[in-house]
Chain A
Amino acid sequence: MNSNQDHANIIVVSDLVKKFKDLVAVDHISFEVKKGEIFAFLGPNGAGKSTTIEMLTTLLQPSSGNMTLNGSDPTRNKDAVRKSFGIVFQDPSVDEDMTAFENMQFHAILYKVPKDVSDHRIKELLEFVELWDRRSDLVKTFSGGMKRRLEVARGLLHHPKILFLDEPTLGLDPQTRNHIWSYVKDISKKENMTVFFTTHYMEEAEKIAERIAIIDRGKIVAIGTVKELKDQTKTDSLEDAFLNLTGRKIRDEEASGMDHLRTMRRMWTRRH
C-alpha cells in the first residue's frame, strides 16, 4: 500500500482477531475506511460488530492483528486515538440523574475543551439536535429518542474526526431515525467527519452508507457499495444480497452475560 492511500484511509484494519476463550468473536477481518466516508457494518446479532468497535475505540485489547485510526495505533497510542473519535454506544451512556447541559459540560471537561469554546459549541449542538429548550431537565425525563439525540450531540462536542455509532437508531420511531441521520450526514459533510456505524436495518444501511461491510460470525463476507454487493450476489435488493450472503438461519446463540444485564436493567428502570 502506498503512502498516498494511507493518507486517504482514516481507519485501516488488517487481520484483526478477538477471541473470548473458545469463541472467536472477530475472525481475521481486514478493511479500510476513507476519510470523510460514511461506512456501515451490517450484520446479525452476535456477528462481532460491537466487539470490533470496542477494539477500535481502545476499550478491548485485540487477540491479534493490526489497526490504525487517524494514523495511530489504538493499542499503543490510546490517548491520541481517543481524542480523534466520538462515539454513541449500543447501550445508553448518558447520566440520567444529570441535566442535558451537565452531560455536555462533563464531556467538555473530559476532553479538555476550553470553557469559552465549549459553551458556544454546546449551545450550537443542543440547538442542532433540538434539545436546547430542555437543557436544564434531568435526562431521566427524556424519551428514548431524545436521549439518543443527546448522545449524538455529545459525541460531536470535541469535533471528532471519526464518529462511531453502534446501532444508534435501535428502538426509535422512523421520524427520530430520520432526524438523527440528517444531523449526522449534515455534520459529516460540514466537518469532513468520517462516520462508522452498525445497524440491523437494511434500508438504513442502503440509504445512509456509502460503503457497507457485511459481517457474520466474526467474518466479513462482503464489502462494497450497495451496487457492488447486489452485482456480486446477482440480487436486486440489499436484503436479498444480505440473506444470500449470511443465510436465512436465525442466530439463536445463547444469551450472553451482557443480554442478562440488559434484561435486568430493563426490569430495574421500569420499576423506578
Chain B
Amino acid sequence: MSTIYILWLRQVKKYFRSRSRIIGSLGQPLLFLLAFGFGLGSVFQRAGEGNYIQFLGPGIIMMSVLFTAVFSGVDLIWDRQFGFLKETMVAPVSRLEIMLGKTLGGATVAGLQGTIVFVLTLFVGFRPENLLLLPVAAVFVFLIALLFTSLGIAIASTLHDMQGFQLIMNFLVMPIFFLSGALFPLQGLPRFMEVITRIDPLTYGIDGLRGALINGSEFGITTDLLVISILTAILLGIGSYLFERIEA
C-alpha cells in the first residue's frame, strides 16, 4: 500500500513542480479551441448543430487527457532505464504495486491536466449546462485517464527504446483522437466511419463527458460508463501482465 502511495505521490509532486511544462502543454488545446472552435463555428451553426464551442469543449478536454495519459505511461521507457523506476524494480516490492502506483499517478496527472483545460474552455466561452453533473464529468475524465495510462504502460512494457515512439504517436494516439468524435458529431457519418468511431474507446469518454457537461450524449451516460469501465479493467489487466514480465 505505501509503495503505491509513494509512487503516486511522486508523480503528483513532480507535476506541480513543473509549472513551465503545465503552461506549455496548454498551447495545443488552446490552439485547437481557437482554430476549430472559432474557425468552424459558423459552419457548424449554419448546419443546425448549435454552438460549436459547446460541442468541442469536451472533445478538447479529453484530447489533453488522452495525450497526457499515454505520455505518462510511455514515460516508463525512460524511467526504467534512467529513472527512479529502475530503483523500484530491485526493491522488495511486488511488480503489481509498482504498476498500480505508476498508473494511478499518471492517471491523476492526466486528470489534473483535463481539469485545467476545462477551466481554459470556460475562457473561450464554453458553459456547462448542469453544474450538478460535474462529479459525473470527473468520473469520465478519470476513467479515460486510467484507461490510456494503462495503455501507455502496456505499450512501454514491450518497447526497449524510443524508436517505436513515433509509430505509437502516428498510428495510435492521433487516430484515437481524430476518429473519436471529438471534432464532429457521431450521427450521419458514412458507414465505415460509424464503425471506426464506435471501436474507438475515446468516443465513449467524450460522449459521456458531453452527456455530463452539455446534456448531449449520443449513447447515453450509462452505456458510456459501462463500456469505459470494462475497457479500463481489461487494459489495467493487460498492463499489469506485461509489466510483470519486464526484464531490467
Find chain A residues with CB under 8 A from B42 CB.
none
Within 8 A of B (CB), among A70-85: 78-79, 82-83, 85
Binds B, one of A38-46, A226-234, A259-267: A259-267
Among B3, B160, B162, B248, max chain A CB count under 10 A is at B248
Known: A58-B90, A111-B91. A261 touches B247 (CB 8 A): no
CB–CB B248/A106 < 8 A:
no
Give per-residue flags for B1-37: 1 if the beta carbon is below 8 A from chain A beta carbons, else 0.
Answer: 0110010001001100110000000000000000000
Known: A54-B248, A264-B162. A106 touches B17 (CB 8 A): no
Number of A-B residue pairs with CB-CB distance less than 8 Å in the complex they form: 75
B131 at the interface (CB under 8 A from A): no
**Which chain A residue has the least Cβ–Cβ distance from B17?**
A97
Complex Cα distance A60/B86, Å? 12
Known: A61-B247, A93-B86. A261 touches B91 (CB 8 A): no
Q: B87 touches which one: A54, A78, A85, A107 (CB < 8 A)? A: A107
Give per-residue flags for B146-172: 1 if the beta carbon is below 8 A from chain A beta carbons, else 0.
Answer: 000000000000001111000000000
A100 at the interface (CB under 8 A from B): no
Known: A92-B82, A97-B14, A98-B13. A257 touches B248 (CB 8 A): no
Q: How far is the CB of B77 from chain A (nearest CB, A)?
A: 8
B38 at the interface (CB under 8 A from A): no
A94 at the interface (CB under 8 A from B): yes
Find chain B residues with CB under 8 A from A257 CB.
160-161
B51 at the interface (CB under 8 A from A): no
Complex Cα distance A257/B161, Å? 7
CB–CB A109/B2 < 8 A:
yes
Within 8 A of A (CB), among B69-126: 78, 81-84, 86-93
CB–CB A91/B248 < 8 A:
no
Complex Cα distance A61/B245, Å? 10
A124 at the interface (CB under 8 A from B): no
**Which chain A residue has the least Cβ–Cβ distance from B15?**
A97
Task: Label chain B's interface by main secondary structure.
Answer: helix
Find chain B residues with CB under 8 A from A111 CB.
91-92
Complex Cα distance A260/B81, Å? 12
Q: B83 touches which one: A93, A109, A154, A264 (CB < 8 A)? A: A93
Complex Cα distance A93/B81, Å? 8
Complex Cα distance A94/B82, Å? 8
CB–CB B3/A110 < 8 A:
yes
Complex Cα distance A55/B103, Å? 27
**Which chain A residue has the least Cβ–Cβ distance from B85?**
A93
Complex Cα distance A260/B163, Å? 10
Q: B82 touches which one: A58, A82, A154, A265 (CB < 8 A)? A: A265
Find chain A residues with CB under 8 A from B247 CB.
59-61
Find chain A residues with CB under 8 A from B14 CB.
97-98
Among A82, A98, A110, max chain B CB count under 10 A is at A110
**Which chain A residue has the least Cβ–Cβ distance from B86?**
A93
A57 at the interface (CB under 8 A from B): yes
Complex Cα distance A60/B163, Å? 22
Name 8 A/B residue pairs within 8 A (Cβ), A-sorted: A54-B248, A82-B91, A89-B87, A95-B10, A98-B14, A110-B6, A257-B161, A265-B82
Point out residues on B near A: beta carbons under 8 Å.
Answer: 2-3, 6, 10, 13-14, 17-18, 78, 81-84, 86-93, 160-163, 247-248
Point out residues on A near B: beta carbons under 8 Å.
Answer: 54, 57-61, 78-79, 82-83, 85, 87, 89, 91-95, 97-98, 103, 106-107, 109-112, 154, 257-258, 260-261, 264-265
